[in-house]
Amino acid sequence: MKILDAEFVQGFIRMANDGWEQGWHERNGGNLSYRIKPEEVESVKENFKPKEWQPIGTSVPKLANEYFLVTGSGKYFRNVIIKPEDSICIIEVDGKGENYRIVWGLVNGGRPTSELPSHLMNHEVKMVASNGAHRVIYHAHTTNVIALTFVLPLEDKVFTRELWEMATECPVVFPDGIGVVPWMVPGGREIAVATSELMKKYDVAIWAHHGMFASGEDFDLTFGLMHTVEKSAEILVKMLSMQPDKRQTITPQNFRDLAGDFKVALPEEFLYEK
Ligand code: 2HA
Ligand code: ZN
């Protein structure tokens, strides 16, 4: 099968374009990766032309021999739908989890996303935590969440609780909460380690003054998670723009009642009295 005809490739392209249309991917901002299923690799393998091995910059031994579809470094989400072969690539991880090689895509040269260490370390953590179910890691420059990182304390419990309060669906969509990484230099191993540490507990991590990382089982769930968190942040920004305090809100007891009816576990650490 031709690569661009494969359903997983079409889903990836659609998600990248949805993110562009949301306004989360100015210039070359953001990146996306998908851990390809073995049967999907089989279905497109005839098109692979492996290039040289390159160091990942970190070690992901549990991802040995896995294949990923990823956006290219310096490439624009805006262009993914127009020229996918130039904007995205498939990479193979070696048997030790230390090197990768491009096997398809980036036809005009280039490398996978500059955030490859964060993507792969998050994939490793989430694959283990979900028994293999999670396959998508998404980084976006979500405007309202970024704005909030200038006014809220950079604490998991504050972001989780404030974003839960802004829309009733939120605690159901991200019941485990949200982690916050303080400002760090992007692109390297250090921020990858900090993010993947939070991803052991959460499906979403905020990068202060930069954006968000989200993890999920498929494109719909992962995009939907990013969208829900960012929409909640937009409501909070609007609310704070009208007045500094809430007249009324969803209370800790309301959350407990919701948890019971919707059968989600909401950790008490987020249901503190303010
Ligand atoms: O430009 O978003 O974090 C890609 C990025 C780096
Ligand atoms: Zn970024």
249: enclosing H helix or E strand: none
Find the 138 Cα to ligand 1 centroid distance in Å. Answer: 11
Q: How far is the CA of 34 from the centre of ligand 2 (A)?
A: 17
Cα dist. 19→161, 224, 230 in Å?
25, 11, 12
Mutate which of 79, 115, 146, 183 for ligand 1 pocket (most atoms within 8 A of beta carbon): 115
Per-position pLDDT tens, the chain of length 274: 999 999 999 999 999 999 999 999 999 999 999 999 999 999 999 999 999 999 999 999 999 999 999 999 999 999 999 999 999 999 999 999 999 999 999 999 999 999 999 999 999 999 999 999 999 999 999 999 999 999 999 999 999 999 999 999 999 999 999 999 999 999 999 999 999 999 999 999 999 999 999 999 999 999 999 999 999 999 999 999 999 999 999 999 999 999 999 999 999 999 999 9
User: For the chain, which residues make up each domain, given as ranges?
Assistant: 3-259
pLDDT tens for 250-264 read: 999 999 999 999 999
99: number of Cβ within 10 Å: 16
- 128-169, pLDDT tens digit by residue? 999 999 999 999 999 999 999 999 999 999 999 999 999 999
| Marked catalytic residue, from 40, 92, 115, 162 | 115
Q: To which residue do tokens 């909640």 refer?
A: 232
Neighbours of ion ligand 2 (CB under 5 A): 211
What CATH class is the domain 3-259? alpha beta
Torsion of Cα atoms, 183 then 188 then 192 then 194, to 10°: -40
Which ligand has the nearest atom to the CA of 212? 2
SS3 state of residue 15 = helix
How many Å lie between the centroid of ligand 2 and the Cα of residue 30? 5
